[in-house]
Structure formats: C-alpha cells, structure tokens
Amino acid sequence: MRTARGVADDLKDGLAGAGAHRAVRRLRRLLGVPGLAVADLSGRLQWAGRPAPATTAAPLVEEVLHAEAPRGGPALTVVPLHVDDQLAGVLAVTGRVRGAVVREAAAWVTDALRRARLEASAEQAARAELRALRAEISPHFVYNALTVIASLVSSDPDRARELMVDFADYTRYSLARHGEYTTLSDEFHAIETYLALQRAVLGDRLRVQVRVAPEVLGVAVPYLVLQPLVENAVRHGIEPRAGAPGLVQVSGEAEGGDCVIAVEDDGVGMDPAAAEAVLAGRGSAGSVGLANVDRRLRHVYGAWYGLVVETQVGAGTRVVVRVPRFQPGVMP
C-alpha cells in the first residue's frame, strides 16, 4: 500500500515528469522483475533495473502504441496505459511474470495518472474562477465612481485626488496579476478603497464599519476572497433600498486556531432558498462571486470550510468566512 501511494505521488506530473523514474523503481522492486519501464506517447522508455535491448523494445512499444493492445512474450511484455479511455503511454516488463500481475501494475499506474489529471483540472478550474473574479468589475460602478470624481475636480480638488488614488488602488488590486494567495491585510485594504469609492457614489445612503483584530492581518488567504462579498453587500443589499440609508459592517477576528471574517448588511436580504441556490452556482449572472469564493475556499481548505450565509427577506444578509490561521501550502 505504501508503494502504491508512493507511485501515485511520483506520477503527479505524468509519465514524463520528474518523479516518473522513481515510480518505475518502486514498481520494479514490488514486482521483483529484472526490468520495468514506462513511456508516454513519445515512446521513450524510462527503465529501472535491466532494460530490454532497444532493438527489441522500441518496435514492440511502437506496435502497442498503434494497436493499443498488449504485445510481447516471456522475455518482454508491453501493455498500453489508458486513462479515461484515452491512451496515455505504455508499461514494459522484462522477465517471466504472470499477465495478471502486469495488468495490476498497469492499473496502479493508470489510477495514479487519473488522479493527477483530476488534481490538475481542479487547479485549472480554481485559476479560471480567479480570472472570472478579476473580470467581474461592474462597469456601472466604474462609470459612477469616475463621474463623481470628475464632478469634484473643480469644487473639491483635494477630495477628487484622494478618490482617484482610491480608484487606482482598487483597479490595480482587482486586475493586476497576483499570486494565488495574499494576506488579510491586503484584502482589507482593497475593500476599504472600494467602500470609500462607494460612499462617494452613494453619499449618505451608505454607512460603513470595518473592524479587524491586528493578530489576523498576517493570515494568508486566497486572493480576492473578501472583496466580492463586500461588493455583493453593497450592490444587492444596500443599493436596492430605494434611497433609504444602509450599513455595511466588516469584521475579522481570531477564534482559537481559526480566523473568522463576517460581512454584514442591513439591506433587502433574500429568501434562504435563493441564497442556497446562489452558493450552488444556480443564481443570477450577477451573483457568481459568492459561489466562486465558496468553491475556492473549499478547494483550498477542504469541505468543512466555505461560506455561511444568514439571510431573510427584509432582514439583511450576513456572510461568514472561517479559515485556518495557518494552512500548509497557503503562503502569500
């Protein structure tokens, strides 16, 4: 079992990856054969132990890659490796060994390759969702913010300059290419610039409270994990209140080994069933941010983490994010 786990880890980068030769050595020792090799679709064999003569192995590998069926005899056996019904390469074994043993070894290799593909697909999906968040800046918000800044250029130039700096910070953080993770300090700075711009646009209609404990400012979190929640509170909670003032509160504090962030508004709220649909990705196009953040949190920290949404029609919305204060591999 340890060998099987080791093979899976060694093949995370595929049959041509850095760990492939280590995986081959593990399998040869486990099977007790003179020589064992794998090759990707290029046909280049990576051997451990005593290799078969190239004049014998190369034509046999080429034949298996074309026929996608086992070939060979007592001295050398070559079997195809299929991952999700697609040919990925071959496994070659020298010496006398039962066919069932070779097939079992091939199954281990294909299972490892399949897992590696799934993990790579999950990472690609997470990166795609991050790109989607970067592209989700509301044109309506940008237009309103720039219009307010332009209106202040003559009457209050100092205020216009302050807001222009906030707008530059907001767009830089939202659109620039960052690493996969950042700190809560940077996330809170980004939402403060966003809220400053929204207060300039909405005036007295928007009140803001931001409270964060100093001990959590250095906690590493996925990039752009808080800003979509605050934007959702303003756009879907406060703006639809038809002129009535609203309050958005953002807090962050430590609870044991976790960090708890809450984004709360006293806006229009929503039906809990609708909130459930949003988190499941079945909401409107404008609500993709919440589902996006929830999936990314679960991908990074596991199924026990993610967003908790407390809401009711007319009673506002509270979104809670709980993350570990330290998670291996999560570094800004």
Q: Give the Cα separation of 159 and 165 in Å (integer).
A: 10
Residue 155 pLDDT greater than 60, yes or no: yes
Residue 135 pLDDT greater than 50, yes or no: no
Sort strands 246-255 and 306-311 into parallel, antiparallel or unpaired. unpaired
Residue 327 pLDDT greater than 70, yes or no: yes
Helices H / strands E in the chain, number of each: 10, 12
Share of the chain above pLDDT 70, in %: 91
Please return the burial class of 296, using the count of CB atoms within 10 Å of its CB with bins 0-12, 13-18 and 19+. Answer: buried
* pLDDT per residue as tens digits for the range 173-220: 777 655 688 999 999 998 999 999 999 989 889 999 999 999 999 999
Q: So what's the pLDDT on residue 50?
A: 92
Q: Are 118 and 211 in contact (CB under 8 A)?
A: no
Token pair of 148, please? 């307010």
| pTM score, whole prediction | 0.59
* pLDDT per residue as tens digits for the range 60-83: 999 999 999 999 888 899 999 998
Q: So what's the pLDDT on residue 242?
A: 76
Question: For the stretch 257-277, what's the b/e string if a residue is b when 16 or more beta carbons lie within 10 angstroms of its beta carbon?
Answer: eebbbbbbbbbbbbeeebbeb
The SS3 call for residue 311 is: strand
- Report the side by side order of strands in the sheet with 246-255: 206-212, 246-255, 258-265, 317-324, 306-311
Residue 37 confidence class, pLDDT cut points 50, 70, 90: very high
CA angle (260, 262, 268) in 5-degree steps: 160
DSSP state of 52: P
Q: Say what angle helices 99-134 and 288-301 make with each other, to 10 degrees.
A: 140
Pure H helices in the chain: 2-10, 20-31, 54-67, 99-134, 139-155, 157-175, 184-202, 227-232, 272-279, 288-301
Region of poorest pLDDT, from 111-115, 178-182, 259-263:
178-182
